[in-house]
Amino acid sequence: MAFQNQYAGVFRLEDQTRFPRLHLGWSPDGLDWEIEQTPITFDGVRASDPVADYAYDPRVCPIDNRYVITWCGGFNGPTISVATTDDFKKFERLENAFLPFNRNGVLFPRRIGGKYMMLSRPSDDGHTPFGDVYLSQSPDLCHWGVHRLVMRSGGCEQGQWWQRLKIGAGPVPIETDEGWLLIYHAVMDTCNGFVYSFGAAILDLEQPWKVRYRSNQHILTPEADYEVYGHVSNVVFPCAAICDEATDRIAIYYGAADTFCCLANARLSELVSFVKENSCVF
């Protein structure tokens, strides 16, 4: 996230206990990162929760002249936790957005119809059932409702095994002339375990629960050694994106095998065209 002539990021880190926490990172160019060793501490209503620092899969969304961090936090099971910051120094934690169990909470970077909009994937306490993406609305980042189904796992046509098990929103959606570009992760089950790939869809600008286009092919799948081998093998998991419309460039940050933080570059126009030309049949 561009901030005061540099880049700020929120990362999930683990120590040798493998307990996940959020850490702040800084970079002069978006490539070389200095990660703070001390986890982020939160003020606010939920800061004293006994599992308040349990956190993974963070996203950072600029909206209303501040930054909103959403992540999968602990509250008798995984759910979507929320915090805000103006300066990446002081973080105020808000109420959790949803009941457990829920994952992959991703905000839109502007209000739509005066409401905040968030994508999420309701789930159970494991890692396989409930694989569909929903959208919820809020007037204040606290009270969430008007839940709408956006996309189901499995795609829109037969044979799309790469996204047949579950899907989840990735980076903050990118606003384009064609609609909101949503990059998402998609999972298939194989005889050797799960495989996580990237997919992409374009959602309606003013009614983002409506899908205009959705790719029937993945746009990235584990192939490099650092994507295939690691703590959790065969994973590419998109979590952030920086878009420069002037140069038509989009930089996508993604986790590889739950071990590395990686960067993939693309042309925004080419990615939008690919989704439109290779869209599911609705």
Domains defined along the chain, listed by start: 1-151 (2.115.10.20), 153-282 (2.115.10.20)
Burial 202-228 (b: 16+ CB within 10 A, else e): bbebeebbebbbbbbbbbbbbeeeebe
**Average pLDDT taken over every residue of the chain:** 93
**13: its two tokens:** 């880190």
AA letter at 120: S
pLDDT over 60 at 29, yes or no: yes
User: Which residue from 168, 218, 178 is spatially nearest to 202, judged by alpha carbons?
Assistant: 178
How far, in Å, CA of 258 to CA of 106, rounded? Answer: 19
- Output the six-digit token pair for 242: 């920086």
Q: Residue 39's pLDDT band (boundaries 50, 70, 90)?
A: very high
Q: What pLDDT was estimated at residue 166? A: 95
pLDDT at residue 52 in the model: 59
* Predicted pLDDT at 16: 87
pLDDT of residue 144: 98
Q: What is the pLDDT of residues 66-113, one digit of tens each?
A: 999 999 998 888 999 999 999 999 999 999 999 999 999 999 999 999
pLDDT of residue 46: 66
Question: Cα separation of 242 and 106, whole Å?
Answer: 15
**What is the distance between the alpha carbons of residues 27 and 160, in angstroms, rounded to a whole number?**
38
Which range has the worst mean pLDDT, 20-24, 51-55, 174-178, 204-208? 51-55
Comparing 40-49, 175-184, 231-240, the range with the smallest average pLDDT is 40-49
Name the pTM for this structure.
0.95
> How high is the pLDDT of residue 47?
60
**Cross-strand partners of 257:** none
